[in-house]
Amino acid sequence: MEERTKFSVLFSVYYKEKPEFFEKALESVYRQTAPADEWVIVKDGPIPEELQAVIDKYKEMAGVCIKEVPLPENRGLGLALAAGVPECSFELIARMDSDDIAVPERFELQLAEFEKDPSLDLCGGQIEEFETTPDEIIGERHVPLAQEEIEAYQKKRTAFNHMTVMYRKSAVLAAGNYKNFPLMEDSVLWVDMLLHGARCKNLGETLVYARTNRDMIARRGGMKYYKKYKNARKAIYRTGFITRWQYLKTNFAQFIVCAMPKGMRKFVFFKVLHKKKPVMKAGGGIYGLARKFAVRAYSYGIAADGGVL
């Protein structure tokens, strides 16, 4: 029997994580039909005993090899992952967030794609979003499947769900690894990889149940968040990946969303951009106008995982 390709799974955890959520994320990785050969857990600054206890628990589990990468202080997700990628022992690395839940066949499905296509550098998939339990899905985020569609989509908003990706370590490092662009570190990396000739795809299947929070989404606005988005989009523009018009158009749309009242921003995110059912025709009043704007802005590229929303 041919030996399965070995791979690492890469986490980043910091002091604000909830131990019960972290444990569920680790459990979903432990229960995979194709188990990871190594778990690399970057501790982004000192973590409390409760989080360390979760790591220690899985260190005692059969078949689990955990490599801890402690950072002296909290650096943020991008720089934490930048420290973690070189520590991974294998060429293939699966990303996993510390509060999400991977479907049991996730790694098996992705490994099959890499084994089928040796030129593949990056493979992601779809997500379904939940607040309390994956049995109660409140939203979805669908991303394009094929290379050409991915490249076009990435010019507007991020073409991958970050917590679902499996990539080649060599391709990430060749593109310059993760950089310090809070909220947008993944989007900048995908652009860098595409510019370096990375071959990419997304699977049509849901690979991860992503934990979300309505109130958190509502708070993600204001100039603080807009400036982070603008900073990353400016960096992308300077690479030549997008035109000046694409840069200005997406920045304007993001500015409008950041300036929205919290309630309207929550509505746009859950009722339009990540809505499970097809968008219905807008009614009258302020929310009807919000729906009309969101549909237009969606095509311009605002929103989740590649923007503030």
Domain ranges of the chain: 7-212, 215-300
pLDDT tens digits for 203-248?
999 999 999 876 565 556 678 888 999 999 999 999 999 999 999 9
Q: What is the pLDDT of residue 265?
A: 63
Q: What is the pLDDT of residue 4?
A: 82
* CATH code 3.40.50.300 for 7-212: no
Rounded Cα–Cα distance for residues 296 and 302 (Å) = 10
Pair type for strands 200-211 and 7-13:
unpaired
Q: Which of 26-30's residues contact partners 24+ apart within 8 Å by CB, and which partners?
A: 26/54, 26/55, 26/58, 28/100, 28/101, 28/102, 28/103, 28/104, 29/96, 29/102, 30/58, 30/61, 30/64
Q: Which residue has the tokens 């590229």?
A: 301
Rounded Cα–Cα distance for residues 58 and 64 (Å) = 7
Average pLDDT over residues 31-39: 97
Question: Which pair of structure tokens corresponds to residue 218?
Answer: 């509502």
pLDDT tens digits for 156-165?
999 999 999 9
Reported pTM: 0.86
Phi, psi dihedral angles at 129 (to 5 degrees): -105, 145
Residue 9 bridge partners (DSSP): 39, 94
pLDDT tens digits for 117-147?
999 999 999 999 998 899 988 889 999 999 9
Q: What is the DSSP letter of 196?
A: T
Average pLDDT over residues 57-72: 95
pLDDT tens digits for 80-112?
999 999 999 999 999 999 999 999 999 999 999
* Nearest residue to 161 via CA among 104, 221, 204, 222: 204
Q: What is the pLDDT of residue 212?
A: 86
